[in-house]
Structure 1
Amino acid sequence: MLRQNLQQKLLQKLSPQQIQFIKLLQVPTVSLDTRIKEELEENPALEDISLADMNDPVEDYPDKDPDDYSEKEKEENYDEFNVDDYLQDDNINDYGSKYDSNEDDEEKKELPIAVSNTFFENLQAQLDLVHLDDNDYLIAQQIIGSLDDDGYLRRPIPSLIDDLAFSQNVMAEEQEVEDLLKVIQTFDPAGIGARDLQECLLIQLRKRDQANPIVIKAIEVVEDYLDEFTKKHYDKLEKSLNVSSEELKEIVAEILKLNPKPGDSGASNVKQMQVIPDFHIAKNENVLTLTLNSKNAPELRVSKSYQEMFQHYEKTSEKDKKLKEAVHFVKQKLDSAKWFIDAIKQRQQTLLKTMNAIMNYQYEFFLSDGDERQLKPMILKDIADRIGMDISTVSRVANSKYVQTEFGTFLLKSFFSEAIQTENGEEVSNKEVKKILEECIGKEDKLKPLADEKLTEILKDKGYNIARRTVAKYREQLGIPVARLRKEL
Structure 2
Amino acid sequence: MTQRLEQTQAAIQTQQLATLQVAVAKMVELSVAELENRVQDEMLDNAALEEKDNDDFPVNDHTDNADTDTDNDAADDDNGDATPTDDNAYEESEFYGSEADAMGDYFSADDVPDYLQQRADEQRDRNELQYSGSTSFYEELQNQISEHDLNEHEREVMEYLIGSLDEDGFLRKDLESLTDELAIYHNILTDAEELERLIGILQEFEPRGIGARSLQECLHIQLTDPERRTPYTKIALEIIDHYFKEFTGRHWEIIRQRLELDEDTEEHVRYLLTHLNPRPGSALNEASTPSAPVVMPDFFVTVTDDGIPRVSLNQGDVPELQVSRAFADSLKQYGKGDKKLTREQKDAYTYARQKVDAAKSFITLIQRRHDTLLAVMRAIVAVQRDFFINEDDDTLLKPLTLKDIAEKVGMDISTVSRVTSTKYVQTAYGLYPLKFFFSLQFTTSDGDELSAREVKAALKKLVDEEDKHHPLADEALAAELKKQGYNVARRTVAKYRDMLDIPSTRLRKIHG
What TM-score comes out, normalization by structure 1 length? 0.51
Matches within 5 A, 1:51-130: 93=59, 96-97=62-63, 98-102=80-84, 104=89
Amino acid at match of 2:369: R
Matches within 5 A, 1:180-219: none
Q: Which runs of 5+ in 2 are unaligned?
A: 1-6, 64-79, 91-95, 97-119, 127-288
Matches within 5 A, 1:15-34: 15-34=18-37
Correspondent of 2:388 among 350, 366, 369: 366
Is 1:281 aligned to residue 247 of structure 2? no
* SS at structure 2 position matched to 1:399: helix
Shift of 1:108: 5.5
Question: RCO (CA 8 Å, sep 6+): is it higher in 1 or 2?
Answer: 2
Amino acid at match of 1:300: L
Correspondent of 1:472 among 494, 499, 508: 494
Matches within 5 A, 1:231-380: 272-283=292-303, 284-295=305-316, 298-315=319-336, 317-380=339-402
Shift of 1:302: 0.9
Is 1:393 aligned to residue 415 of structure 2? yes
Partner of 2:403: 381
* SS at structure 2 position matched to 1:433: helix
Counterpart Cα distance in 2 of 1:428 and 1:468 = 18
Counterpart Cα distance in 2 of 1:406 and 1:111 = 15
Shift of 1:92: 5.6
Counterpart Cα distance in 2 of 1:424 and 1:482 = 30
Shift of 1:22: 1.3
Counterpart Cα distance in 2 of 1:398 and 1:271 = 20
Counterpart Cα distance in 2 of 1:425 and 1:23 = 40
- The answer (yes or no) to whether the contact 1:421–1:464 under 8 Å persists in 2 is yes
Shift of 1:334: 0.9
- The answer (yes or no) to whether the contact 1:30–1:274 under 8 Å persists in 2 is no
- Larger CA Rg, structure 1 vs 2: 1
Question: CA, structure 1 residues 111+407, in 2 after alignment: closer, same or farther (shift >3 Å)?
Answer: closer
Amino acid at match of 1:282: T
Counterpart Cα distance in 2 of 1:417 and 1:473 = 15
Amino acid at match of 1:279: F
Shift of 1:46: 0.9
Render the CA deviation track for 1:307-348: whole Å, top value 9, x for unaligned.
223333435844455543333222111111111111111211
* SS at structure 1 position matched to 2:294: coil
Shift of 1:372: 2.5
Counterpart Cα distance in 1 of 2:509 and 2:355 = 67
Q: Which deviates more from structure 2 when the two are superposed, residues 12-21 or residues 326-335? A: 12-21
Is 1:428 aligned to residue 450 of structure 2? yes
Render the CA deviation track for 1:373-413: whole Å, top value 9, x for unaligned.
22111112222222222222222221122111222111112
Amino acid at match of 2:357: D
* SS at structure 1 position matched to 2:335: helix
Counterpart Cα distance in 1 of 2:450 and 2:82 = 34
Counterpart Cα distance in 1 of 2:125 and 2:447 = 51
Counterpart Cα distance in 2 of 1:49 and 1:102 = 15
Counterpart Cα distance in 2 of 1:281 and 1:410 = 11
Amino acid at match of 1:311: K
Amino acid at match of 1:368: N
Q: Percent identity?
A: 39
Amino acid at match of 1:301: Q
Counterpart Cα distance in 2 of 1:398 and 1:287 = 22
CA RMSD of the aligned region, Å? 3.7
Question: CA, structure 1 residues 384+296, in 2 after alignment: closer, same or farther (shift >3 Å)?
Answer: farther
- The answer (yes or no) to whether the contact 2:35–2:318 under 8 Å persists in 1 is no
Counterpart Cα distance in 2 of 1:437 and 1:447 = 18
Amino acid at match of 1:273: P
Counterpart Cα distance in 2 of 1:359 and 1:329 = 45
Partner of 1:83: none
- The answer (yes or no) to whether the contact 1:437–1:455 under 8 Å persists in 2 is yes
Partner of 1:43: 46
Counterpart Cα distance in 2 of 1:307 and 1:295 = 28
* SS at structure 2 position matched to 1:472: helix
Render the CA deviation track for 1:207-239: whole Å, top value 9, x for unaligned.
xxxxxxxxxxxxxxxxxxxxxxxxxxxxxxxxx
Counterpart Cα distance in 2 of 1:36 and 1:478 = 43
- The answer (yes or no) to whether the contact 1:278–1:296 under 8 Å persists in 2 is no
Question: CA, structure 1 residues 92+347, in 2 after alignment: closer, same or farther (shift >3 Å)?
Answer: farther
Question: CA, structure 1 residues 366+423, in 2 after alignment: closer, same or farther (shift >3 Å)?
Answer: same
Matches within 5 A, 1:407-446: 407-441=429-463
Render the CA deviation track for 1:118-163: whole Å, top value 9, x for unaligned.
xxxxxxxxxxxxxxxxxxxxxxxxxxxxxxxxxxxxxxxxxxxxxx
